[in-house]
Amino acid sequence: MFVDELMKMLEERKDEMIAIRRHLHENAEPSFQEVETAKYIAAFYEGKDVKIDKEIGGKHGIVVTIKGGKPGKTIGLRADFDALPLKEKTGLPFASKNEGAMHACGHDGHTAYLMVLADCLIKLKDQLSGTVKIIHQNAEEMAPGGAKDIVASGVLNDLDYVFGIHFLPNGSAGTVGWHKGYTFTGRSYMKLKIKGMGGHGSSPHLANDAIVAGAYFVTEAQTVISRRLNPFDVGVITIGSFDGKGQFNIIKDSVELEGDIRCMSDNAREIVDKELHNLVAGLERGYGVTCDFTYKNDYPPLYNDEIVTDEVVKILEKAKARDKDIKEVKEFPAQAPSEDFSYYNNICKGCYFFIAATPKGIDKPAYNHSPKFDIDEDAILVAAKAVGYVLLGMSGEEI
């Protein structure tokens, strides 16, 4: 069987996946700076019987097209490859050599499994039904993200389905998680500069205190969540920066705030956008200040198609019954962070699922984006197998 042959090849190349992961980890490059990483990935495919699209959108994204020997669907498999601007504190022998850059979210492992899975599919492509597009995406961590450029390029316009995974330290290697419907929040960014009139601290009636207006905005913004959203919907407004530093006895003439907004549905996102703009307009009228307001919607909420996800779960359950490396398939909760895989789900149906990767012997693992984050490298093979099973199952192969 095709599936047996593919899984055997993946097992035989487990050490290679780990070696690739360690190379990428040691040579971490942050978002939009992944020059050497992109070269390394592209070189892996040179000379193989595939089409390689590089520098998509003038950036570092790469799409490798594998045409199967039999007709069928066109399916995309995506892995991101950027690191974070962090100083690593893991103490690993292959810790990042690039000061201030670290793979603290598992993208090194994402890329390692997909490179080897892709190479195995290339070797077996005469047995493959349809076309597989391997999406090596840059800059997931920093808006506007790499997915947006890849989608805009049109290279994925023919996709029928798209799939991807993320490592999470919330279970032992061998556990595969899924979630239907809205799975990651959408992300927005706001910046507000409030301009009043400065003055002496003893005479506030002769000034117009921008700090007071800013403080009102911080408090009132939370009522957008508590009084404008449906209680069963999800939204978060975080004012992470309030720049009002001045002199204790001088009334500030201006302050600047920056905030992060997360919403779990498109409807909630539209409501928060509208209400925050209304609040800024009211601030100008009520406090006699002027406001420069920047509001940008970054990554949309990530929605896993319910029918496709049901199929993915069925395939993974079959895989669990036949494969010792896939030990548990379970529902995971929706995730509060954001993911630009959502851009792919806006052009075709798909599912983004999870691979548990808590390092062995650790009760309280460091979570993603921690300078001490690490994964159990056994989970890399689990990822390759899980995605391989899903790909073949959705292509019509018997699992």
Q: What is the CA angle 345-310-389, rounded to 5? A: 85
Is-catalytic flag, 140? yes
Strand 129-137 with 61-67, pairing: antiparallel
Round the CA-based radius of gyration of the chain to a whole number and report it.
Answer: 24
Q: How far apart are CA 20 and CA 385, in angstroms?
A: 17
What is d(CA 299, CA 186) in angstroms, rounded to the nearest whole number?
5
Q: Which one, of 198, 324, 186, 206, lies nearest residue 268 by Cα?
A: 186
The amino acid occupying position 143 is A
Q: Is 141 a catalytic residue?
A: no
Choose the catalytic residue: 29, 34, 140, 376: 140
Residue holding tokens 């929040």? Answer: 185
**Distance from chain centroid for Cα 25:** 18
Please, which residues have CB within 8 angstroms of residue 150's CB and are 6 or more apart in sequence?
Answer: 56, 57, 61, 63, 135, 137, 156, 343
Q: Is 32 left (phi over 0), alpha (psi -120 to 50) or beta?
A: left
From 240, 260, 241, 251, select the one nearest 211 (Cα to Cα). 251
What is the amino acid identity at position 298?
Answer: D
CA-CA distance, 249 to 232, in Å (whole number)? 45
Residue among 80, 241, 260, 135 nearest 185 (CA): 260
Q: Check 82, 119, 323, 325 and give the catalytic one.
A: 82
Residues noted as catalytic: 82, 140
